[in-house]
Amino acid sequence: MILKGKAWKFGDGISTDLICPGRYFHLRSNLSELARHVLEDADPEFARKVNKGDFIVAGENFGLGSSR
């Protein structure tokens, strides 16, 4: 199987708070609105530019460290 898509490269230490900023926790029941803010603190343009089928490539501790 060959997968095709853009690779979005992030470094180490991308916590869940960077993936989904806590200030948008109130949007958890509105996933389409919440998705507009995904990874915005790591890359402010990410949510606007990412496409279906794209990949996230990240370093160590991707998705760790949240108090939620």
Has residue 2 been placed in a domain? Answer: no
Has residue 66 been placed in a domain? Answer: no
Q: Which domain holds residue 42?
A: 7-57
Q: DSSP states of 16-53 as a string?
A: HHHHS-GGGGGGTT-HHHHHTTTTTTT-TTHHHH--TT
Which pTM value belongs to this model?
Answer: 0.83
Residues 11-30: tens digit of each pLDDT: 999 999 999 999 999 999 99
Measured distance CA(22)–CA(30) in Å, rounded: 14
Counting the structural domains of the chain, the total is 1
Ramachandran quadrant class, 54 (left: phi over 0; alpha: psi -120 to 50; beta: rest): beta
The sign of the torsion formed by the CA atoms of 25, 65, 55, 41 equals positive
Residues 26-51: tens digit of each pLDDT: 999 999 999 999 999 999 999 999 99
